[in-house]
Structure 1
Amino acid sequence: MTKKTSKWLLVSVLTALLMTLIAFGTGPTNVTAAAGRTLVYGSTADPKGLSPLSTADTVSSNVIQQVYETLFRQDAKTLKAKPWLAKSYERKSATDWIIHLRTGIKFQDGTPFNAAAVKYTFDQMKDPKRAAPRASLLEPIASTTVVNDSTVEIKTKYPYGPFLAMLSHPNASIVSPTADKKGKLNTHPVGTGPFKFKSWTTGDSVKLVRNTDYWGKKPKLAGVTFKTVPDYATAVSMLQTGKIQLLDNVTSDYLSRIKSLTNVKLTNKAGTPMRYFGFNMQSNPGKNKKFRQAAAYAINAKTYVAQLNGLGTYNPSLIGPELFGYNKNDKKAATTYNLKKAKELVKANGFNKKTYTILVGNQPAYVQMAQVVQQQLAKAGIKVKIEKQEWATYLTTLASGKFEMTFSGWANSTGDASELFYPNLDSKNIGSSNYMKYSNKQFDAEVEKSRETLNTSERKKALSAANKIAMKDIPWIVMDHNSVAVAQAKDLKGVTVLPTGLWYLGGAYFN
């Protein structure tokens, strides 16, 4: 046997051995990592839909932000907006922005991402015929113009402070015009993100797979499954046994149990989201300010927050401490717990003579709030029953206005209080995102001041004024400014969690 033949045989044997080891999962770690695993996330509800043009809820956004992408993305620590699908930008004037786009990117249907796609997305979001639930997000935009394939010019109606934050919001994600025109984008999403759509079985799961043609750093996960687990206790058990590896919105009821799991890591940090008890301001009993005052006096939010064991903070200010526009003195304008005054108002106005209804979606945190508030209102003489609905049904009922009172929340995904107030409480959005149907011209004027200037101090002054007006009117009673609590398998790495509660899985992997 020649030396050349011997060398050839040795290489052949080693190659065969290596292939055998890989086949049995004991090969080099870089090969195993490339193969990846599928991450299973436990979702307490089904998404409302899978298109940023047709949804406005967090459950849907959890899927959307893995499939679609935005022109800018917020830094996980500072929330400062940085270019993402955009390569760079320049401001020609206070109202004229030039956005330079990355080139060579394709949507998951093979069509090109370009300036025309950006214009199409933003025009569709703003089109009254489309009636996008978050159309208010892009209200400041006057026009979007294609300069060339990789450049768009965006003109705003006025100097808009949170412009880049607005373009970082999940509902400003860029969609494939070709896919959207087919009319199935809400059930078959097509974006530019690291994962692409595989299937959606209503009531069971949404399945995504790795986008092998992704323009950025290639995802290491083979895919992501959003498993619908309405019962939170079941979800925690599945986390314990490894059937799911990611669970957010951790509730105080299960905090100690999750902390005790040796295979689970818990992250808990101050966040921008807030949760509230809200009134339909155009029907009884909510349109009666004395009823709202009685409820505000009866609800002891501080006691509720104490039960959260560090998963939220008490502050009656509608603008929370983590938001731009927060003023620690504003909270003095709030109507807070005083059971004696609550009882006096209830008795004087006959609020104890009928039973009212609280609408609540089947999210554990909101159900818990409803039960606590039901007991607290009862102590003041206000009788309420709880009507619990499946999440998508709840959102439809909320939009229809066929409710008396409800629990809801806002992630504050831009980190700016003007994007808390404008969509939710400005009278221009009654009939769309202003579900409480709150209307106060003085409040609207202050909110608009906060949006129509780039001067930071002027914006803060206007937001503080608006905050105090709303607290006196009581369309909402703040339950808590909640932290962002995420439980994940210890061997799961690279999950990007923002203070807004949003999270991205493009860089996630199993160690």
Structure 2
Amino acid sequence: MKKKWLFILLFVVSIVLAACSGGESSSAPKENGGSGSDISGKTFTYATTTDAVGLSPIMTNDSPSANVIEQVYETLFQRNSETLEIEPKLAESYENPDENTWIFKLKEGVQFHDGTPFNAEAVKYTFDKLRDPATGAPRASLLESVEEITVEDEYTVKITTKYPYGAFLAALSHTNSAIVSPSADQKQDLMKEPVGTGPFKFVSWTPGDQLELEANEEYWNGAPDLKKVVFKVVPEVSTAISMLQTGEVQFIDNLPTEQINRLESMDNIDIQKIDGSPVYYFAFNHLKEMNQDPEFREAVASAIDRDAFVSKLNGLGVRSDSVVGPKVFGYDKSAENAGTPYDLDHAKELVEKNGYGDQPLKLLTANRANTTLMAEIVQAQLVEAGFKVEIESMEWATYLDSARAGEYDLTFLSWSNVTGDGSELFYPNFHSDNVGSSNRAQYSNAAFDDLVMQSRTTVDQEERAKLLDQANKLMLEENAVVVMYHGVVTSALDNTYTGLNLDSTGKWTLKNVTGK
């Protein structure tokens, strides 16, 4: 009996010692950063200086919102970040039996987060709502070409277009073409409670503070390794970088130029830089009478020294005159120097000749680091040429509303070119159809409109490229905008993680992020 109790005592002691030792069994979870680390209980935090405006792909048109939407929703097609080709995603395959007919076979067995089946009815519901004028969707232009949507069977949808539309698949890869749950849309506000088919599900959102997602364990393409993702609003980018350094944050993007040296000196992060498709430009409000004066626009364009600004970007911007960038279909190298060159003396002459300095001008800007820097530099240059310019800075959502409503004289606008197609750059941003909505520059030119519509209504890609180049150069000849730079897409990721998919469009996905 004594031997039995002695055996039991020794067994218990051995368990206690093992538990107290620094040893780690093969099944024990490892700390973040270890080889093959278990991240199932970890929170992956992305810091953003700007909160989302909303969470519905139908009702939004801004990058902070799209960053969330990309994790929760999915599109029929996606752009391959390496080949830049458009490939099926929720679509299984497609046919194009004639120039105006598209037949899409959909993936089977996919469900929305609320259990609603993904099928042809869901596609029709989403696209009909997106293109319905009563909806007021900011990117309704994506489906402007659509004449009719027909459900052929549960997993087959036919779309008939009004005319041959060369950029149709690219349009269907856009974030704002993501498919929503019809049942969820009918019973709740998707701007506040999104329901998609993506790898992450919505949990909660405290506007101005943080938004939480969780892994979709039933995701059709395999559950993500990250189990909890937080989008944390950190208005001061320097604070976000400090949080990245201390491990409170695991990921930031759109790295500010003034902080790049600090970021590159940090041992615990990996920095990624990719020549991108985003374009950043100085815009005139073309509804204002003074901005309709060609010599006024020429004077402004002549006064802006873009090289002086790009030199401040520490390699995070590419100098170009072309509205269509090198990563976008329709780009032609001949447009690189087609804009009005910097000529301060000429600008001063035009200002003095026409009295342009007599009227104060409002330069509207969003309160983001690079945009603020751009505004301050350009304001000083315009003042030097004789203009009177005052900067008005706004937080992101308010700025978008003011720009869309045309409540400014001059401003800075940008476009991520998510589709990578020049027609889908020009039509929403500068075609007269979209004045008052996505055409925030309020630009209207019949010759330009015609070139853009021709580029949209042919499937001959060589012809499309020529038409887009002509439209591009027409804008530059008119000084319709002044291109400041083309973006370099950037990210900084805690180096205990890998697998971030960063695209040249600025889009990114967390599906394949995992611990090392």
- TM-score (normalised: structure 1): 0.94
Q: Distance in 2 between matches of 1:407 and 1:309?
A: 20
Q: Distance in 1 between matches of 2:463 and 2:478?
A: 23
Q: Which residue does 2:214 correspond to in 1?
A: 209
* Equivalence map 1:53-68=2 (5 Å): 53-68=58-73
Deviations 1:444-485 (A, max 9, x none): 000011111111221111111111111122221101011111
Amino acid in structure 1 at the alignment position of 2:285: N
Secondary structure at the aligned position of 1:307 is classed as helix
Contact kept in structure 2, 1:360 and 1:394, CA below 8 Å: yes
Aligned equivalent of 1:161, options 162, 166, 169: 166
Change (3 A) 1:508 1:27: closer
Change (3 A) 1:295 1:349: same
**Superposition deviation, residue 90 in structure 1:** 1.6
Aligned equivalent of 1:108, options 95, 107, 113: 113
Aligned equivalent of 1:234, options 231, 236, 239: 239
Answering whether residue 298 of structure 2 is matched by residue 281 of structure 1, we say no
Answering whether residue 29 of structure 2 is matched by residue 25 of structure 1, we say yes
Q: Distance in 1 between matches of 2:284 and 2:435?
A: 14
Q: Which residue does 1:355 correspond to in 2?
A: 360
Q: Which residue does 1:466 correspond to in 2?
A: 471
Contact kept in structure 1, 2:404 and 2:437, CA below 8 Å: yes
Gaps of 5+ in 2: 1-6
**Superposition deviation, residue 26 in structure 1:** 4.6
Aligned equivalent of 1:330, options 320, 326, 335: 335
With 122-131 and 389-398 compared, the bigger mean Cα shift is at 389-398
Secondary structure at the aligned position of 1:483 is classed as strand
* Equivalence map 1:360-375=2 (5 Å): 360-375=365-380
Change (3 A) 1:26 1:257: closer
Secondary structure at the aligned position of 2:471 is classed as helix
Aligned equivalent of 1:346, options 325, 343, 351: 351
* Equivalence map 1:91-490=2 (5 Å): 91-490=96-495
Contact kept in structure 1, 2:30 and 2:38, CA below 8 Å: no
Change (3 A) 1:36 1:474: farther
Aligned equivalent of 2:50, options 27, 45, 48: 45
Secondary structure at the aligned position of 2:454 is classed as helix
Deviations 1:403-444 (A, max 9, x none): 111111000011111111000000011121111111110000
**Superposition deviation, residue 285 in structure 1:** 3.6
Q: Distance in 1 between matches of 2:39 and 2:490?
A: 29
Change (3 A) 1:317 1:31: closer
**Superposition deviation, residue 232 in structure 1:** 1.3
Contact kept in structure 2, 1:133 and 1:432, CA below 8 Å: yes
Contact kept in structure 2, 1:278 and 1:405, CA below 8 Å: yes
Contact kept in structure 1, 2:39 and 2:515, CA below 8 Å: no
After superposition, the CA RMSD in angstroms is 2.3
Contact kept in structure 1, 2:423 and 2:452, CA below 8 Å: yes
Q: Which residue does 1:506 correspond to in 2?
A: 511
- Give runs of ≥4 in structure 1 deviating > 4 Å: 20-24, 26-32
Q: Which residue does 2:3 correspond to in 1?
A: none
Q: Distance in 1 between matches of 2:316 and 2:135?
A: 38
Contact kept in structure 1, 2:36 and 2:515, CA below 8 Å: no
Q: Distance in 1 between matches of 2:124 and 2:191?
A: 19
Q: Which residue does 1:3 correspond to in 2?
A: none
Secondary structure at the aligned position of 1:315 is classed as coil
**Superposition deviation, residue 217 in structure 1:** 1.7
- TM-score (normalised: structure 2): 0.93
**Superposition deviation, residue 291 in structure 1:** 1.8
Aligned equivalent of 2:88, options 83, 86, 96: 83
Deviations 1:134-165 (A, max 9, x none): 00011122222111111111122222112211
Amino acid in structure 2 at the alignment position of 1:321: P
Contact kept in structure 2, 1:106 and 1:112, CA below 8 Å: yes
Amino acid in structure 2 at the alignment position of 1:170: T
Amino acid in structure 1 at the alignment position of 2:168: F
Q: Distance in 2 between matches of 1:26 and 1:312?
A: 40
Contact kept in structure 1, 2:282 and 2:482, CA below 8 Å: yes
With 168-177 and 82-91 compared, the bigger mean Cα shift is at 82-91
**Superposition deviation, residue 355 in structure 1:** 2.3
| Percent of paired sites with the same residue | 46
Contact kept in structure 2, 1:358 and 1:404, CA below 8 Å: yes
